[in-house]
Amino acid sequence: MEKKLVREKQSNSEERRSNSEINDLPDPLLCHILSFLPTKDSVRSSLLSKRWRNLWLQVPVFDLDSRQLFDDGFSLTELVGRFLESDENLTLSRFKLICYSKDIDDDDDDSVLESWIDALVGRRVCHLDFQVKSNDYELFFMPLSLYSCNTLASLSLCHVALGDMELEFVVSLPCLKVMRLDSVRYEYDKSLIHHDESSSLETLITSCPVLEKLTIIRDFFDHLKIMRVRSRSLKSFTLWVDSYEVGLFEDHVVEIDAPRLEHMSLRDHLSGSIIIHSIAPYASVNIDVNFDGENGYTPLDEDDADSSKRTTIHDFLTRISTVCRMEISYHTLEVIHDYSKLERLPQFSKLTWLYASFLESFGELLPTFLGCCPNLHTLVLKFQFEIEGCPIKLSYVPPCFVSSLEYVDCDTRHNKNIKPDEIS
C-alpha cells in the first residue's frame, strides 16, 4: 500500500513538474507548438488556465473543419471572426477552413466572406485553403481583394466561384507558386467572340509570375468554352475532367502554353480539341484523352471529310513527341492506332520510360506506338483483363525490343514480371 502511495505521489509530482516546465515556456514557443494542432484542439487549450485562455488567438495557423466544431458557445462565423480580428499585426502562416454554406449564418453571406478575405490579406496570409460543402446552386464568389494578396504562396479553392474581374482591377499574386482549383466556376466575358473570350481563370493564371504547380478539377456546371493555361513559370500542370460529372460545351477547347512545363497530367474525355503550344523538352506526361467531346469516341476513317480532328491529333502528338517519360491510357492508344492508319506518326526519340494501360486489343495497339519509340528502356504494361495462361503476342517486333529495351513489367492481378525476350 505504501509503495502504491509513493508511486502516485511520484507520478503527481512529475506531472506538476511537467506542467510547470510547459508553463515556463514563452508564448511564441507555445503558439508554435499549438500551430501543429487542429484549431479545435488549440481552442480547447484555453481551458487549461488563465494564461492559456487567449493563447489560441496568437497562433499563426488556423485549421478547422466545421463538421468537427464543438459546442463552446461560438458559431463558426463568431469563431473565425474573433480569430481574424484578434491581432492585425500577426502574420498568418496558414489558413484552412472546410465548411458548409449553412455554417455562415449571416443574411449576406458574401459580405461575411469578404470580411474574412480582407482580414486574411491584411494579416499577410501565406497559405490559404478554403473549401465549401454545399449544393451546386449555393456558391460563394471569392472577393476581389484575394487577387491582390502579395504574400500568398499557395492557394487551394473548392466549390466557389471566381467573379468576372473588371478591366480596371489589377490582379497581382507575385508570390503564388502552388494553386489548386477544385470544382470552381469561372466567369467570362460573354460579349467577346468565341475564340477571343477571356475568363477570370485565364486572368488569374497569367497574373501569377512565379506559379509552378497548377491543378484544375472541372466543375459540373462549368460552361467555360476555352480553358487557356499560359504561364512562363509553370512546371507542373494537372487537368482532371470526369466525363460522367461535367456538363461542358460540345466544342470545348483546352490550350496549354507553358515552355517550362516538366510534368503534365491530362484526363479529359470531353474536350474536342487540346492544343499544346509549348511544353519543356524531356517532360513527363500522363495522357488520357480522346479528342471527341461529349459525343464519345468515334474512330477516324478515310471517308471523314472533316480533317480538323486529324489535324488536332497530329499537332498534339507532335508537341508531346519530345517527352522522356509517358503514362498513356488505352483510350489514347486507340486514338493513336486509328490515326496511324491515315497519317504517319511522329518519332518519340527521347521517350525512355512508358507505362501503358490496356482493356483489350493488346496485340494491335501496342506495336503501333512502340514502333515510334526507338530508344525505349523501360516498358510497364497494365492489363485490366485476365491474361493468365494466355501468351502475349505482338503482330511484329518493334525495333526497341532488340535495340534498347531493358525491362518489361506486366502489371496484372498476378503481378507477373517478365523480360523483353519472353514476349513473342
Asked if 171 and 163 count as a contact pair (C-beta separation under 8 A), the reply is: no
Asked if 400 and 353 count as a contact pair (C-beta separation under 8 A), the reply is: no
The contacts of residue 45 (CB under 8 Å, 6+ apart) are 34, 52, 55, 56
Nearest to 226 by CA among 264, 200, 206, 207: 200
For CA atoms 109, 114, 120, 122, the dihedral sign is: negative
Annotated domain spans of the chain: 23-58, 347-424
Angle, CA 178 vertex, CA 172 and CA 182 arms, to 5°: 100
Q: Which three cell numbers stand for residue 12?
A: 503527481
Containing H/E element for 10?
A: helix 2-23
For CA atoms 155, 161, 166, 167, the dihedral sign is: positive
Burial (CB count <10 Å: 0-12, 13-18, 19+), residue 238: middle
The contacts of residue 210 (CB under 8 Å, 6+ apart) are 174, 175, 176, 177, 233
| pLDDT on residue 309 | 84
| pLDDT on residue 52 | 72
Dist. CA 84–CA 78, nearest whole Å: 10
Q: What is the pTM of this model?
A: 0.84
Type of residue found at 43? V
Burial (CB count <10 Å: 0-12, 13-18, 19+), residue 4: exposed
Query: Number of C-alpha atoms within 13 angstroms, CB side, residue 299?
Result: 9
Question: From first to last of its 424 residues, what are the pLDDT tens digits of the chain?
Answer: 555 544 544 444 444 444 555 666 776 787 787 778 887 887 877 666 666 777 888 888 999 888 776 555 568 888 888 888 888 888 899 999 998 777 775 555 668 888 999 999 999 999 999 998 876 666 788 888 899 899 999 999 998 888 766 655 678 899 999 999 998 988 654 444 344 456 788 889 999 999 999 999 987 677 788 899 999 999 999 999 865 555 545 568 899 999 999 999 999 888 888 999 999 999 999 999 988 765 556 666 665 545 788 889 999 999 999 999 999 998 899 889 888 888 899 999 999 999 998 776 666 777 888 889 999 999 998 876 655 555 566 666 677 776 788 888 877 654 444 444 444 3
In the chain the first and final C-alpha atoms are separated, in Å, by 80
Containing H/E element for 204?
A: helix 200-206
Dist. CA 283–CA 181, nearest whole Å: 23
> Which residue is associated with the grid cell 512508358?
354
Asked if 213 and 185 count as a contact pair (C-beta separation under 8 A), the reply is: no
* Beta-bridge mates of residue 353: 325, 378
